[in-house]
Structure 1
Amino acid sequence: MKRIALLMVLALSLYSCDTDDDGPNLNFTIAEITGTDLPEYFEIGESYDLEVTYELPNACHQFSNFSVNPYVDEETDSTFVIEIAALISYDANITDCTEEGELTDSRTIRDLRVSSEDYNNYQFKLLTGEDENGEAEFLIIDVPVGEPEPETPEENTNA
């Protein structure tokens, strides 16, 4: 009797390990960033919220989060670079997307703080996709730190 009970428990435990799962199969990819609302210049000690606009491939994709990679430019250590990618998710089990919805969306990156006088330029590299060789393509926007000097009018040489 004990053997039969042990075999039944063993059979049930093996059955409960069934790996057929009909649940969602989430995959992640990147969305094309189409723009942002950067200011003309940054002021030291201030904090900024940046609205980033991106395009979804279809309405079955959903925003997941931003991948933000900050670093100092190797060529000029006075430029602080911030690479931004918009990560999106979709269910790979859905082969025919018939969902309707807005394909352009925007989200806000909050509290970008400009706190150092070490950099005179912030360069934003917004990931827009890949070229035919699989290399990343970026929309690059430079924002100076401090109010730019007003341009002086050219001298009048007709006098």
Structure 2
Amino acid sequence: MKRLILLFVSALVLVSCDTDDGPNIAYDIALISDADLPEYFDKDETYDINVDYALKSACHTFVGFDGNQGKSEENDSIFEYNITVISSYDPALTECTIESESLSRSSQLFKDFQVKSEDYTTYRFNLLSGFDSDDKPEYITIDVPVGEPEPETPEENTNV
């Protein structure tokens, strides 16, 4: 009886070790080409912020955003967001047979983004857009001031 139980358990272990559980998933970076940001943020207003990016192939799919945020090390009146787009694909596929008219996509980075604090005068968005020849990341940096900026050149006073 003990041998029968040992044989049954051994067979169960061998069958459960099957490694073909379906497609594998690997993650990759999709490069950002643009972002839909306002000229400035009004305090307590809400904004939907979208990001445009390009997938590496039609076999890649959007997973989400990754990054970090915090006060700028260079200027404590700037709050920074460092954003990367993550995609996934099946590395077992040797050729991508899925066709797509365009690999460009857009996804919502923030829904109802709101500036609530007066601690920062600028919100900086560093969006991963590529890598240089030394494989160092390159970013599209967009600074959005809080409050309508003053005109660069003073308007003439017409009330003489």
Shared fold by TM > 0.5? yes
Kindly report which structure 2 residues correspond to 1:104-115, keeping only aligned pairs within 5 A, or say none.
104-109=104-109, 110-115=111-116
Moved over 2 A (4+): none
Alignment correspondent of 1:122: 123
Counterpart code for 1:108: Q
Please state how far the C-alpha of 1:7 moved relative to its aligned partner. Answer: 2.9
Counterparts of 2:11 and 2:112, CA distance in 1: 53
Counterparts of 2:85 and 2:144, CA distance in 1: 20
* Runs (5+) with no aligned partner, structure 2: none
Q: How many residue pairs get matched? A: 154
Alignment correspondent of 2:81: 82
Change (3 A) 1:107 1:149: same
CA contact (8 A) 1:26 1:89 kept: yes
Counterparts of 1:7 and 1:121, CA distance in 2: 68
Counterparts of 1:119 and 1:4, CA distance in 2: 73
Please state how far the C-alpha of 1:22 moved relative to its aligned partner. Answer: 5.1
- After TM superposition, the score normalised by the length of structure 2 is 0.89
Counterpart code for 1:152: P
Counterpart code for 2:25: L
Aligned-residue sequence identity (percent) comes to 43
- After TM superposition, the score normalised by the length of structure 1 is 0.89
**CA-based RMSD:** 1.7
Alignment correspondent of 2:134: 133
Alignment correspondent of 1:72: 71
